[in-house]
Amino acid sequence: MQNTTRQIQTDVLVIGGGATGLGTVRDLAMRGIRTVLVEKGDLTHGTTGRYHGLLHSGGRYVVKDPQSATECAEENAILRRIMPQYIEDTSGFFVITPWDDPDYGDRFLKACHDTRVPVQEISVEEALRREPVLNPKISRVFEVPDGSADSFMSAYGIARSATQYGASILNYHFVTDLVREGDRIVAAIVEDLRTGEHKRIEATYILNTAGAWAGKIAQLADLRVNVMPGKGTMIAMNHRMVNTVINRCKLPADGDILVPIHTVSVIGTTDIHVLDPDVYGIEPDEVTFLMEEGEKMIPGFTRYRALRAWAGVRPLYREESSAVSDRDVSRAYKLLDHRKRDGVDGFISIVGGKWTTYRLMAEEIVDIVAARLGVSTPCRTAQEVIPGGEESKLYWLGHNLAHVEADDSYGDLLCECELVTRKQVVQAIRGGAANLDDVRRETRLGMGPCQGGFCTYRAAALWGEVKPDAVPTNAKNNGKLAQDGAGMPGTALVRHFLQERWKGLTSIMWGDQLRQARLDQLIYVDTLGIDLLPEHIRPPQPENELVTGHPAIATEYHHD
């Protein structure tokens, strides 16, 4: 065990800063339970920040996974009420294309009624009037209350609410060990990846909400949690070609959904089993397949500009690890009480589920912990609105532009693509961002067509203004990111952010996006010479990093 320099005591320690972990820490804090959350990266660094942004109606699962369908339908209504500022009411169409079984429509309709998923059949003419680019050869259309959700912004909103209730959230804290005394887990040893400091966090209960990494966390306590990481690849298209979520009306499969979110449309997803949630890539045939499947929903889809490809890893759970197709594994969540299952107290895991069901998952695990701690305060997360949503106004596409117009802040735009202002970036930096990729998650900086081409150097210069005391790494921090990113000089900030953007471009480099990448290279390599400047600090990288070469900018590679 490592030497520790500081000890922290709390009632509950939550491991994992995705939606489920954040929902859990908020629920605990609202019930007056002392709680600390640790996350090895920034919030949403894992699966929560790497999905297609769908607020599920439940329609996708009504036939094959009815329990998950009902959970999604019920939570869909709750999330619209408690966090409207992060949700767009796009609605959703399930369409039968010429490649789909026409008899599946009646089966789908009945299953929606059985699982209490709101549904109505509309005419093809009405669907085409609302979405003119849809395949005119579709034969039936069913409308459900799908939506799109900003998993990044919502995560920060949930976190702010939790801290207002007294919770402590520690980003860039990696769990290196769990301390087991007899038949109880009593503490976790964590390393601050920015300073190299080790901390011992003692807690009455430790909750494993690490998603696809839950199995790795459990192994630290010699416990088994059979997570089957299922990689899902998605592509963001540089055009919001539809304003409604489009689903193929068939059993869930690869490449059968198109989600409009912010200014883009996201097509997904594949479902491929991977051995390690930290080691995977995006194969060219996945991209080709998704583009061709998009053509079946939107004729001419392959002629649109692909903006970025990325992949997330689903935390699929199976009690036994026997071989099975990932599509056959339930999307419902599973709570594992290790006291009952393994005779080990002080440790509970929750795995599976969807972003849409994060609040429900949190409520169930907190109910158990609260009862064992003797806390009778009921859960209020289904009623209490997350700050910022008090007016019950749902997000709409012109939201950012409306704020820029109201503030007359055109001259303060750092990222024209996503309408990100100087004020927003300053708030993110001062709020504890460790690098520009953290700023991106909070503001959408660099997520537009140029993928950081024109805003990266501006944001790095602003970072220097806000934190002028940034210094190169030294022996004291052993090359780690210094506290709050203060030890990352401008060159490293730029190189790191360009690398993060480059990862999503390698598999979609053709047409306009290839020309854009060449322009970015001319800016940063040929003009600014970023590849020739010293980079004193590298951000922490996962073990077993995949390695490849960028012609000038990058040397390391790992997919979103």
Q: How many domains does the chain fold into?
A: 2
- CATH of residue 236's domain is 3.30.9.10
Residue 459 to residue 436: CA distance in whole angstroms: 8
- Most confidently predicted of 36-50, 320-334, 491-505: 36-50
pLDDT reported for residue 16: 98
> Is residue 65 in a domain?
no
pLDDT digits (tens, 9 = 90+) for 104-132: 999 999 999 999 999 999 999 999 999 99
Q: Is the pLDDT of residue 321 over 80?
A: no
User: Does residue 95 sit in the same domain as residue 238?
Assistant: yes
pLDDT beyond 60 at 539? no
Average pLDDT (50-54) is 94
Average pLDDT of the chain, as a whole number = 89
pLDDT for the residue 554: 30
pLDDT at position 474 is: 33
Domain range holding 406?
399-527
- What is the reported pLDDT for 318? 82
Question: Is residue 96 in a domain?
Answer: yes
The yes-or-no verdict on residue 553 having pLDDT over 80 is no
- Name the domain boundary from 252, 279, 314: 314
Question: What number of CA atoms fall less than 13 Å from residue 268's CA on the CB side?
Answer: 27
For residue 486, pLDDT beyond 50: no
pLDDT at 66 over 70: yes
392-403 pLDDT tens trace: 999 999 988 998
What per-residue confidence (pLDDT) applies to 100? Answer: 98
State pLDDT tens for residues 13-37: 999 999 999 999 999 999 999 999 9
Is residue 128 located within the same domain as residue 249?
A: yes
The answer on 423 and 519 residing in a single domain is: yes
Please compute the mean of the pLDDT values over residues 426-451 and round it to a whole number.
93
Mapping DSSP onto H, E and C, the string for 48-108 reads HHCCCCEECCCHHHCCCCHHHHHHHHHHHHHHHHHCHHHEECCCEEEEECCCCCCCHHHHH
Mean of the pLDDT values across residues 212-232?
95
In a domain, 3, yes or no: no
The DSSP letter of residue 276 is B
Q: Answer with the one of 258, 288, 314 that is the final residue of a domain.
A: 314
- Which pLDDT band holds residue 332 (cuts at 50, 70, 90)? confident
Mean pLDDT throughout 337-362?
Answer: 96
Tell me, yes or no, whether 138 and 262 share the same domain: yes
201 falls within a domain? no
291 and 416 belong to one structural domain: no
pLDDT digit string, tens, across residues 128-179:
999 999 999 999 999 999 999 999 999 999 999 999 999 999 999 999 999 9
pLDDT value of residue 542:
41
From 294, 314, 334, the end of a domain falls on: 314
One-character DSSP codes across 336-356: EEHHHHHS-BSEEEEEE--GG
Q: Which of 349, 216, 208, 190 is nearest to 276 (CA)?
A: 216
CA-closest candidate to residue 328, choices 111, 64, 66: 64
Residue 346 lies in a domain: no
Sole residue written with tokens 């598999």: 507
| Cis peptide bond prior to 269, omega within 30° of 0 | yes
User: Residue 550 pLDDT more than 90?
Assistant: no
For residue 5, pLDDT beyond 80:
no
Is the pLDDT reported for residue 184 higher than 70? Answer: yes
Structure confidence by residue, pLDDT tens digits, 225-249: 999 999 999 999 999 999 999 999 9
Full-model pTM: 0.89
Pairing of β 147-149 and β 87-88: antiparallel
- DSSP string across 415-451: ETTTTEEHHHHHHHHHTT-SSHHHHHHHH-TT-STTT
Q: Which two tokens stand for residue 481?
A: 């990111």
What percentage of the chain has pLDDT greater than the value 90?
82
pLDDT level of residue 467 (50, 70, 90 thresholds): confident
Average pLDDT of span 267-284: 93
Mean pLDDT, range 415-439, rounded to an integer:
94
8 Å CB contact between 381 and 362: yes
In a domain, 33, yes or no: no
SS3 533: coil
Residue 330, pLDDT score: 63
Residue 437 has pLDDT above 70, yes or no: yes
**Rounded to an integer, what distance in angstroms lies between the CA atom of residue 16 and that of residue 174?**
10
Lowest mean pLDDT among 306-320, 383-397, 505-519, 527-541: 527-541
pLDDT at residue 52 is higher than 50:
yes
Instruction: Report whether pLDDT(476) > 70.
Output: no
Q: Kindly state whether residues 306 and 411 are assigned to the same domain.
A: no
Instruction: Point out the least confidently predicted range of 77-86, 371-380, 455-464, 529-538.
Output: 529-538
Instruction: Judge whether 376 lies within some domain.
Output: no
> Is it the case that residue 327 has pLDDT exceeding 90?
no
Q: What is residue 541's predicted lDDT score, i.e. its pLDDT?
A: 45
Say if 46 falls within a structural domain: no
Residue 326: the pLDDT is 57
